[in-house]
Amino acid sequence: MSGLFDFVKDIGNKLFGPGDDPAAKIKAMIEKDNPGIKDLGVTFKDGVVALVGSGPAEALQKAILMAGNVLGVGEVKLDGVTATTVEDGTQYYIIKSGDTLSAVSKQFYGDANKYQKIFDANREVIKDANLIFPGQKIRIPKA
């Protein structure tokens, strides 16, 4: 699963500021969208998020991406996370300047009109299909 756990630290959604507890903010964000991780625990230190809990592989992937696409997070580690498997054929892509979900869909599926599949797989990190940003890491589900 090379590359899933590394993120661009100085790009992402601004979730916390000075005086905030980054771990609490990240945990609340993940729980709000509830990708399916049970007994979620989050720690944050020096740009590294550690997750604990259990859930299906897709839920784990989503939680990793949600935490990793936060400004100030450069890496996500799994400490005691239980899932059946994380390797399920899902690919990951880092948005580049000028990308659209249609263009990414064309690149991976050969059909720009299948962008909705990518959007649906990333609803926790992409709230609007027209608002993606360079450096953002997303899931590309199997065709």
The string of DSSP letters for 87-126 reads -SS-EEEE--TT--HHHHHHHHHS-GGGHHHHHHHTTTT-
Residues 12 and 47: their CA atoms lie apart, in Å, by 12
Mean pLDDT across 86-93? 73
Residues 100 and 77: their CA atoms lie apart, in Å, by 29
- Per-residue pLDDT for 30 more than 60? yes
Q: Which CATH number fits domain 22-82: 3.30.70, 3.40.630, 3.40.50, 1.20.58?
A: 3.30.70
How much is the pLDDT for 57?
A: 80
Q: Are 83 and 37 in contact (CB under 8 A)?
A: no
How much is the pLDDT for 25?
A: 96
How much is the pLDDT for 108?
A: 95
Q: Are 113 and 105 in contact (CB under 8 A)?
A: yes
- Per-residue pLDDT for 45 more than 50? yes
**Record: fold of 91-140:** Membrane-bound Lytic Murein Transglycosylase D; Chain A (3.10.350)
Backbone angles phi, psi at 101, to 5 degrees: -65, -30
Q: The whole model's pTM is what?
A: 0.79
Q: Which neighbouring-strand residues pair with 41? A: 52
How much is the pLDDT for 82?
A: 58
The least confident of 16-25, 40-49, 57-66 is 57-66
CATH 3.30.70 residue spans of the chain: 22-82
Residues 54 and 38: their CA atoms lie apart, in Å, by 5
